[in-house]
């Protein structure tokens, strides 16, 4: 959430309408190519994840600087701004997950409800330029953590509450798919 004052709720506007929730289990992208965005979790070797994170930031900046950054293509689909705020938060969530994997043995990740976060944080009211800066900052932090992974740490495990198991390597591929897929979603 930003520290800047947010506009007061306008009684003439409907409450924030979340996008259609995504309940898919996307772990299949760890072994298969995504038919929508073309990315597979195996496209980027673990040691190259940090550089790829840096390489994707300019594309997000461009999407968030577009005049239509606040416009939803359909009422049930996020705008580029909402996707950008989500991707910023994805960087933060995955930084915490990676930290846990490097510091603990087989940690279980806390659940994260991306849709509830979008509503609670009012992604639609955030400032696109600030979101771009925050996304870049979060990307730099996560990239630095991936860059610091030692050769003997790439196979360390961690898991989601639903039982999906990741290694540091597959966590990187899964994360990158999310970022790339949402660039596809916003046409960037």
What proportion of the chain, given as a percentage, has pLDDT over 90?
80
**Is residue 2's pLDDT more than 60?**
no
**Tokens representing 27?**
């772990």
Give percent helix, percent strand, percent coil of the chain, each to the nearest 5: 55, 5, 45
Please give the model's pTM, rounded to 2 decimal places.
Answer: 0.89
pLDDT higher for 120 or 18? Answer: 120
Q: Per residue in 31-61, pLDDT tens?
A: 999 999 999 999 999 999 999 999 999 999 9
CA angle, corner 6, sides to 14 and 182, nearest 5?
75
């Amino acid at each position: 959430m930003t520290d800047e004052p947010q506009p007061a709720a306008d009684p003439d506007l409907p409450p924030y309408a979340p996008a259609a929730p995504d309940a898919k289990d996307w772990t299949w992208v760890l072994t298969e190519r995504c038919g929508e965005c073309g990315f597979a979790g195996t496209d980027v070797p673990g040691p190259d994840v940090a550089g790829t994170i840096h390489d994707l930031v300019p594309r997000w900046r461009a999407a968030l600087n577009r005049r239509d950054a606040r416009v939803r293509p359909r009422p049930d689909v996020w705008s580029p701004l909402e996707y950008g705020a989500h991707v910023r938060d994805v960087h933060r969530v995955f930084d915490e997950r990676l930290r846990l994997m490097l510091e603990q043995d087989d940690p279980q990740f806390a659940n994260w409800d991306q849709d509830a976060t979008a509503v609670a944080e009012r992604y639609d009211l955030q400032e696109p330029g600030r979101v771009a800066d925050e996304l870049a900052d979060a990307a730099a932090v996560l990239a630095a953590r991936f860059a610091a992974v030692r050769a003997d740490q790439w196979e360390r495990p961690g898991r989601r509450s639903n039982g999906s198991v990741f290694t540091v390597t597959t966590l990187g591929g899964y994360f990158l798919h999310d970022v790339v897929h949402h660039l596809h979603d916003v046409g960037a």
